[in-house]
A = this chain, B = another copy of it.
Amino acid sequence: MKFASLRNGSLDGRLVLVSADLSRAVAVPQIAPSLIDALPRWDEVQPQLQQVAAALEAGQAAEAFDFDPQACGAPLPRSPQWLDGSAFLNHGHLMEQAFNTPPIPQFDTTPVMYQGASDDFLGPHADVPLPSEADGIDFEGEFGVVCGPVPMGVSADAALGCIRLIVQVNDWSLRALGPHEMKTGFGFLQAKPSSSFAPVAVTPDELGSAWQGGRVQMRLHVQWNGERFGEPHGGEMNFHFGQLVAHAARTRRLTAGCIVGSGTVSNVSRSAGSACIAERRVIEKIDLGEIRTPFMRFGDEVRMQARFEDGRDGPFGVIRQRVLAAG
């Protein structure tokens, strides 16, 4: 099933089911007004949602309407927790060189993860207000999973079974602020403003064989101001999502709706390009001897879309956003 949340002035938005081709949608207030309302009682609502989804696909859903990604907020406009890993070790190793920080201990064997704000996510086409270009504005293309309730101390295998939905994320980052916050040991805060989400969250079965090994086996195509930036493959994730969820739940339970992110999608092969500017910059420094690419300017636009390995559009829809001066 595919889900989106239409902006309706409420904090959680209005849940809709979306058709396979992302052309049609239907609200399901009789089942659940919002996605966050549905997630804690997933087993109960899933059969009813599947009935409506089947009717929508058959063109038989009463009150179906054209799906408009512009009208969407994030699939979960707010979530109980946003826990973002850095599971593509290639990215992490490059960022150590970019930030000139010491190697992260146990980086290859224990996931790293920060807790980000989860109360104010941005939709796929929302402008992104930020205070200053001098902060080093950067996008970060990621995949993420939305969990049902996760018990404290869950195993990585059992955690895979707690995954309800898969999402596509743009984890906005302010690169000039990151290194200082890492050095404090308290982690990212100012360096991580509100994250943005592609319009459609999907159940794992929607990915077919592209959901394998707890990883999204798709390429994330990134364009910056209309030019190709990269299309790294999600399958190169060094820790799978079950491992990330288990890491998050080591000393806490997760309430239904928590989102766990993969960190920037990143491939060892240079030909894949990158899903964030900071990574391209450090590659330029290594390969060309100098940084050539600046960070984003106000007015710049980023576009992200996952595609299957055979080139078909992914089910998440498109993130397409401009950064603007706040205030």
Q: How far is the CA of A256 from the CA of B111 in the complex (A)?
A: 32
A98 in the interface (beta carbon within 8 A):
no
Interface contact B252-A104, CB-CB below 8 Å: no
Please, which residue of chain B has its CB at the minimum distance from the CB of A183?
Answer: B105
Chain A 305-327 interface residues, beta-carbon cutoff 8 Å to B: 326-327
Interface contact B152-A251, CB-CB below 8 Å: no
Interface contact A188-B187, CB-CB below 8 Å: yes
Interface contact A255-B153, CB-CB below 8 Å: no
Interface contact A187-B186, CB-CB below 8 Å: yes
A69 in the interface (beta carbon within 8 A):
no
Interface contact B185-A120, CB-CB below 8 Å: no
Number of copies: 2
Report A101-136 CB contacts with B as 1/0, cut-off 8 Å. 100111100101111111110000000011100010
**Which one of B115, B193, B248 lies within 8 Å of A187 (CB-CB)?**
B115
A contacts with B: majority SS: loop
Among the 9-residue stretches A59-67, A75-83, A218-226, A274-282, the one with 4 or more Cβ atoms under 8 Å from chain B is A75-83
Give the residue among A81, A101, A177, A187 with the most B Cβ atoms within 10 A.
Answer: A187
* Residues of chain B contacted by A106 (CB below 8 angstroms): 180
Interface contact A78-B80, CB-CB below 8 Å: yes
**Which one of B101, B115, B185 lies within 8 Å of A182 (CB-CB)?**
B185
Please, which residue of chain B has its CB at the minimum distance from the CB of A110?
Answer: B180
A174 in the interface (beta carbon within 8 A):
yes
Interface contact B152-A326, CB-CB below 8 Å: yes
Can you give 8 A-B contacts (C-beta < 8 A)? A105-B184, A110-B180, A114-B115, A115-B116, A131-B250, A153-B326, A182-B186, A190-B252
Residues of A within 8 A of B (CB): 78, 80-81, 83, 86, 101, 104-107, 110, 112-120, 129-131, 135, 152-153, 174, 177, 180-191, 193-194, 247-248, 250-253, 255, 258, 326-327
Known: A115-B115, A174-B251, A185-B185. 19 other contacts (CB 8 A): A80-B119, A80-B120, A81-B119, A83-B189, A86-B186, A105-B184, A107-B184, A113-B186, A114-B189, A115-B116, A115-B117, A130-B251, A131-B250, A135-B251, A152-B326, A186-B187, A186-B188, A189-B248, A193-B251
